[in-house]
A and B are shown apart, each in its own frame.
Chain A
């Protein structure tokens, strides 16, 4: 673990770092691929909506000795859909099955009657409407739309509009991927799934905001220095918060993984699976997008500003001048697209003093630290 701690320190000081922003085209590519897969999955397979949204058939049986679990099994066997089975009063059963129409219900009735050992005529079959009706769905969409608008406004005020836009793109990315995975896996969409999606919505933004907060701090006085371009700084802030991001993601995913693999795995399909799958995929996508998508996007948007373009020029010119002077390549490799990239960690060549050092005052406060120790 001490290695980890040290790694954290080196990440913090920017001694080591992974070039997240520089390789952004790769991440965008990966994300676009996954998103396209998700959309294709949605278009081809569609979502398997549960009885709560679609309505379906309900079968009320007379008294039977069959247990709820057995009835569930036979109902699913008869219909090919998930069934909700409840005991009514004393040993009567209410079996609700999604996606069943009148024609099919007769067949199901027959096979249920065989399995449950009752007369087919004694089973009341009826159609049920959705308990999660249009009103709930419409209001949920409305709420989402209002929230998105407000959150973009808030982020634009708290940070800036570019970050707000990037956070929104990352959010849409997470939701699309999660819904797409649902379509591909073919799990039934239940109210639990929707709740899971909404949880992700909050979490994805939350995660992105933490990274942006550090980015904002790092780039406060960016125009007053000529060491780094914006993209490099963005990369530093990702690396600086990397330990926190990894820890948070692990801590958030562990319980959900527990739900998915232990809870869901032990019980087979069920509500737990519905919720935990959407949570697991969504949390993972949220953690990924806050590092690989949102921050590089902000860097992309920022580099278009004239101010930042000028800064990049200055930085590159300074580096070129330093190189021309025969200085050792101190500066980290640049992210300019036209330059070949090498991932060399800055070597420890002898420091060369170039001009006055700009050191934060807090560095040598009463520490008697010899100046010139750092550049």
Chain B
């Protein structure tokens, strides 16, 4: 065996020690994080760990006789599924039962209260111009001025260059006298109902009266408004119930400081939840508070700019539009410029409640109103024995893999086994940590997928080892063989892993539910495969190549040139075999 000559060009071995230290630090950090977070096992899906089962019953709303039909039920299932399983990794299950029930199963360890709030919310969203606003107590006289200045968050209009929005602090004082108040109301009620508003019957708001007549409906509304006590929960819920979006209504809403209630008379809805394209929870730069930013669809943006241009010319409080969610005013920002693409809901949000609301708004409103019929715990659908069997089988499979690798690769298998262990440790810690962070839950298919991933990970080592052995067969000594074999093995590993990752990425982006959860797991294991091979297997191999045991080609090292049938360098043998076609020179950096 000729020693490698100095000065021969070869790809630099790099600093194997450094990457090894890096990966070990990562492992320690992940493990530490795991113990610190108090979650030392991955969250299990409902099939393995059981959880909570919520039964929702659709309620008949007045004026919606045939709303409870299979179509609406299926739409509701899809929307609830999106809400509880936004990323597809939480393993919640949603299905219909009978004609009017929906069962939602949520795995153990998820925030049950939050889930219950999320599944039951109808999320009917309307944008209604404000006509009158008053503090939430019953008003003897409509001329009282509101308790607190409503600190309106201004929406940044990204469509125009005007970034001159300041948070204005307008004390919305409703115009003084009852008569003018009444006029203001009927005036405002002349606003065109939105085309999207489904009004079959002629409502008062739709009429284009030239002269405002005292209107019985308006008077009735005014009366209701006067009596309304927003501090009373029952009244709050009842306010504006059963009123069509195309009709004016009364509603309650928390005042911006979040402590007291305001009440409103609202004009017919100009936009609804269908006009919202996307919603995100963000921190408002000026106030530093959590808000929900909504982006409108094309049509929604058109309607919104029409509405806001009209409103911006009004006096307070009629320059406000109320964002009404499930009959309650979430916020009522005032408008002083024309806005079009997005709006912001502010209120007393914290990060979680803002995220929840954004999530609910993103997926749209439920076509039906549901109420919780029952909440019970459910046992695992598969029972523990399936998981146990799976893990035992996986362990046996792993043992067989190790036996096979040892038999075939001898000493090299140490590197393979060490890499497999590192890979397993990384996978386990990351999956565990993803439980609390993104609600990642492991179901039985995912456990099986992880077991199959053993094979895919081991394949990378096999490709690399075979390359190195081929180089040794060419008559090279070990160190150059490792350095020459690596670039080609690396390319193969990257190309094939890219295909797997492409599958994972496409499926994750496009699909929902369980398929999405699978894609996530596949993507994670593929990435880890690349990380382990690059930062662990290769550096370890480089280090091992310096060890005498391997470098001298000990017969147990798995790299014995004799065994590999390398060509003895100085022997006249009458070989009749052809050399491999073409020069076998890897592209070296």
Contacts and interface: CB of A to CB of B under 8 A. Distances in A.
Interface of A: 1-2, 4-6, 8-10, 12-15, 55, 58, 68-69, 84-89, 92, 94, 126-136, 139-140, 142-144, 146-147, 150-151, 154-155, 158, 191-192, 194-196, 198-199, 201-203, 205-207, 209-210, 213-214, 217-218, 220-222, 224-225, 227-228, 233, 236, 240-241, 243-244, 247-248, 250-259, 262-264, 266-267, 270-272, 275-276, 279, 283, 330, 346-351, 359-363, 366-370, 373-375
B559 to A, nearest CB: 10
B580 A271 contact: no
A279 to B, nearest CB: 6
B95 A131 contact: yes
Given A192-B445, A266-B389, 18 more contacts: A6-B565, A86-B378, A135-B513, A147-B507, A151-B503, A198-B522, A203-B456, A209-B499, A217-B488, A244-B462, A248-B455, A251-B401, A252-B456, A253-B455, A256-B451, A263-B393, A270-B386, A367-B475
Interface of B is mostly: helix
A257 B399 CA distance: 12
A253 B451 CA distance: 10
A359 B584 CA distance: 10
Nearest to B509: A143
Contacts of A349: 576
Nearest to B506: A147
Contact of B455 (A88, A255, A263): A255
Contact of B458 (A209, A210, A248, A370): A248
8 contacts: A5-B563, A135-B78, A136-B511, A143-B511, A146-B510, A154-B498, A272-B390, A346-B577
Contact of B575 (A4, A263, A374): A374
B581 A227 contact: yes
Interface stretch (B36-44, B193-201, B259-267, B463-471): B463-471
Contacts of B582: 218, 220-222, 224-225, 360
A170 B477 CA distance: 39
Interface stretch (B57-65, B432-440, B566-574): B566-574
Contacts of A270: 382, 386
Contact of B444 (A89, A225, A236, A271): A271
B577 A251 contact: no
A367 B570 CA distance: 8
Contacts of A86: 50, 53, 378-381
Contact of A8 (B401, B496, B565): B565
B97 A84 contact: no
Given A202-B504, A271-B382, A362-B585, A255 B577 contact: no
The 3 A-B residue pairs with the shortest CB-CB distance in the complex, in nearest-first order: A255-B397, A252-B455, A9-B565
Interface in B419-457: 444-446, 448-449, 451-452, 454-456
Contacts of B376: 88-89, 92
Contacts of A150: 502, 506
B78 A256 contact: no
Contacts of B94: 131
B500 A206 contact: yes
Among B379, B381, B393, B498, find the residue whose CB has the most chain A CB atoms closer than 10 A: B393
B385 A195 contact: no
Given A86-B379, A244-B463, A267 B580 contact: no
Contacts of B222: none
Among B410, B451, B578, find the residue whose CB has the most chain A CB atoms closer than 10 A: B578
Contacts of B2: 366-367
Contacts of A252: 452, 454-456, 458-459
A135 B454 CA distance: 32
Interface string B77-100: 110010000000000011111100
Among A206, A218, A236, A257, find the residue whose CB has the most chain B CB atoms closer than 10 A: A206
Interface of B: 2, 5, 47, 50, 53, 73-74, 77-78, 81, 93-98, 101, 103, 376-383, 385-386, 389-390, 392-394, 396-398, 400-401, 404-405, 407-408, 410, 444-446, 448-449, 451-452, 454-456, 458-459, 462-463, 466, 469-470, 473-475, 488, 491-492, 495-500, 502-504, 506-507, 509-515, 518-519, 522, 560, 563-566, 569-570, 572-585
A133 B78 contact: yes
Nearest to B95: A131
A243 B397 contact: no
A210 B496 contact: yes
A324 B385 CA distance: 72
Interface of A is mostly: helix
B404 A87 contact: no
B47 A136 contact: no
Nearest to A85: B381
Contacts of A263: 386, 389-390, 392-393
A263 B560 CA distance: 39
A259 B389 CA distance: 8
Given A222-B581, A350-B574, A143 B98 contact: no
A173 to B, nearest CB: 17
B518 A202 contact: no
B97 A58 contact: yes
Contacts of B73: 129
B499 A151 contact: yes
B78 to A, nearest CB: 5
Among A144, A240, A252, A346, find the residue whose CB has the most chain B CB atoms closer than 10 A: A252
A135 B488 contact: no
Contacts of B404: 247, 250-251, 254
Contact of A195 (B103, B445, B451, B497): B445
Contacts of B47: 271
Contacts of A144: 507
Given A13-B580, A158-B495, A1 B566 contact: no
Contacts of A258: 393-394, 396-397, 400
A233 B504 CA distance: 33
Contact of A348 (B74, B408, B510, B574): B574
Nearest to B498: A154
Nearest to A206: B496
Contacts of B78: 133, 135
A330 B386 CA distance: 59
A129 B488 CA distance: 52
Given A58-B97, A258-B393, A88 B53 contact: yes
B503 to A, nearest CB: 5
Given A133-B74, A195-B518, A272-B448, A254 B400 contact: yes
A195 B518 CA distance: 7
A351 B576 contact: yes
Given A133-B77, A146-B506, A348 B576 contact: yes
